[in-house]
Chains A and B, each alone.
Chain A
Amino acid sequence: MTRMDESLGPSGAAGGSRAWRATLLTLGIFAAVAPAFLLESFQLFQLTMAVIMALAVLGLNIVTGYNGQISLGHGAFFAVGAYVTAILMSHFDWSFWATLPVAALVCAAVGYGVGFPALRLGGLYLALTTFSLAVAVPQILKHKALEDWTGGVQGLFLVKPDPPFGLAVTPDQWMYLSVVAVAALCFWGTWNLVHSRIGRALMAIRDNPTAAQAMGMDISALKTKTFAASAMVTGIAGALSAVAIEFVAPDSFTFGVSITLFVGMVVGGVASILGSLFGGLFVLFVPNIAEAISKAAPGVIYGVILILFLFLLPGGFAGLLRQIAARLTRRRP
């Protein structure tokens, strides 16, 4: 993995004028909201799922990209978030919005717990430990002690929230807008986190733990809290996915989800917030492109596309953006 340290220190764009930033923000909001009224419902659903995957990738990026702790088990947090929302909605008739903070808190707690063994395990060992979590979760969800809550193999059904106040939008449009709003909040929060003092500490721990400790950073506290924050963001994505799909089942959360998130992170760009967005789009749309090329062996085509991507864009999508940005600034007088 390449070390990304461009985010260290204040970046050039942040020094731009206020008007420029306001324009960018307006354009961004417009670009995010416009699809709700331009796309057909199916494409909107796909885009909703892509944004959800992007949010899940963002969560993984916090702990693996920025803090250097490799996790192959984020599918587990995704599942926990989804199930918390599903259980609260279907057993207790909670509204979707009320379940979100609970799902976030539960996932943060689980992530905090997982963060402890992570302190003693590094690199590949941590990757394997988290992977075992991802493998275990579908079986735990099926276990008879939890069956009354999780619905066992059958899973749970829930219903998408209706647009409030008689807004003239379809449930699909409302779902998309809700997901975009929640995701935007999480992206904004993560941006602030990694550009803060704590964010710089996280990257320092990743790049040189000894030096970081010598500088007085509490490595264990920071690492466990990072795991918690990361699990929380991925868990929120899971909660959103449960409502968008209106169904949860153990088979929806096999270890494949964790691998998918990891692929999304690497393709999008490790330690990149914008890259996470691209990673989400990649993992949702590229399998469909692969299938359009060959129905006989979509897995092979997907693999080839993936290898090509890593070969041509070794720094992920974010790496490409950085290169372009670097060239532009160099040419500027």
Chain B
Amino acid sequence: MTTSRRTLILTTGALLAAPRLAAAQETPGVTATEIRIGSTNALSGPASTYSVITKCLTAMFQRLNDQGGVGGRKIAFIAYDDAYQPPRTLEQTRRLVEQDKVAFLFNQLGTPTNSAIHRYVNQRKVPHLFLATGADKWANPKEYPWTIGWQPSYRTEAQIYAKYILEQKPNAKIGLLYQNDDFGKDYLHGMKDVLGARFDAMVKTATNEATDPTIDSQIVSLQAAGCDTLVCGIIPRFAAQAIRKVHDLGWKPMMFMTNVSVSAGAVMQPAGPEKGVGLITSDYRKDQSDPAWANDPGMAEWRAFMAKYIADGDLSDNNYTYGYGAGSTMIQVLRQCGNDFSRENVMKQATNIAPMDIATLLPGVQVQTQPGNYNVIRQMQLQRWDGKSWVRFGKVIEGANT
């Protein structure tokens, strides 16, 4: 008697569980009440200043859960430390996918770290969404359909400079100074994208190594070649040298500087703020220290979020505005999914975002994706150094990857 009862209970249990098991296989990481999302970041090690991005995203999902979640489900956001070491990124990503069985991966930090898992996630067909890296290689839907970046790449930035140059000075003689690595070469590729066949006639290039003591000779040679426009894809230390050298030579080119090397404290002050007047760069985010955004509704939304969820956060740290932008994009994709959080549908929605505004991005800079175009942010606005601060000018410009 007892045996048959036990059998009955077990059979009933198994029958009840079976559909759930089947459903779980179709949509890993998704239950009736929860969606599991995985991420890795440098929570320890030399790159750990970026760990605030994870803090920001965790708080954003907390806010979403407080508001009732999405599709009737709460978000469980699991972020592991990879210490910015590619082997550990693979280990932690496998833990997320195989052990924690997350639905998909979101905003993992770093170029070498994401490279280490690029093939793994694409073989397994796990959505690898909105990565925290500026490399150009993430927008490659043909070979890596499951990986998509977020921020504008250096290549997009260079395209924007080239477009502006063609508009202002169609017959410019352009000097391009870039660092001889992947970062620098993205500027070369971006200029070629826009100038095409005219590149060889219009552009004179010079390169530097990250280990060079100075770049004075490159600047002098570009001036001697008769360039009237100068585009620099170089790291902050050389940026300060370049600004000073150009000024000291009495050369007055239309000068562009990569937006990784335009910090007022680290570049403009050492170069001499008066020597950099007229220098042009670009941005896609609202600068929270800019008084222009004091009454901006988007930034007010961000400040309210910070006050409620990350009260101890440093408001001058722009990783929080970055994280807010990436998080908002992710939440939009989740909302678009309706009630189908399968990996196929998540990827489909992530690559079908209609142009949308984001609270912490500049007006006119929109987030958008199409199945054939994985460049999520394609626009930037130029800004010019006035001797004290960066002043935005002109309309937002779109890169050439459209």
Contact = CB atoms under 8 A, between A and B. Distances in A.
A256 interface: yes
Interface of B: 43-45, 48, 79-81, 83-88, 90-91, 94-95, 97-99, 111-113, 115-116, 119-120, 180-182, 209, 211
A287 B89 CA distance: 13
Contacts of A46: 91, 95
Given A152-B181, A299-B44, A41 B98 contact: yes
A252 B85 contact: yes
8 closest Cβ pairs, A-B complex:
A42-B98, A251-B112, A299-B44, A252-B86, A247-B116, A249-B112, A42-B94, A298-B44
A256 B91 CA distance: 17
Contact of A153 (B80, B90, B182): B182
A247 B113 CA distance: 10
Contacts of B120: 246
B153 to A, nearest CB: 14
B112 A295 contact: no
A42 to B, nearest CB: 4
A287 B81 contact: yes
Contacts of A49: 87, 91
A249 B98 contact: no
A189 B27 CA distance: 49
Contact of B98 (A40, A155, A297, A302): A40
Given A154-B182, A251-B112, A295-B43, A42 B95 contact: yes
A139 B211 contact: yes
Contacts of A155: 86, 112, 115-116
Contacts of A247: 86, 90, 115-116, 119
Interface string A294-305: 011111001000
A280 to B, nearest CB: 14
Contact of A241 (B87, B97, B111): B87
Contacts of A296: 43
B343 to A, nearest CB: 18
Interface in A31-80: 40-43, 45-46, 49
A252 B211 contact: no
A141 to B, nearest CB: 12
Contacts of A291: 43, 80-81
A316 to B, nearest CB: 24
A211 B9 CA distance: 78
B87 A45 contact: no
A291 B81 CA distance: 7
A54 to B, nearest CB: 15
Nearest to B94: A42
Contacts of A299: 44-45, 48
A245 B116 CA distance: 8
A144 to B, nearest CB: 6
Interface string A143-157: 010000000111101
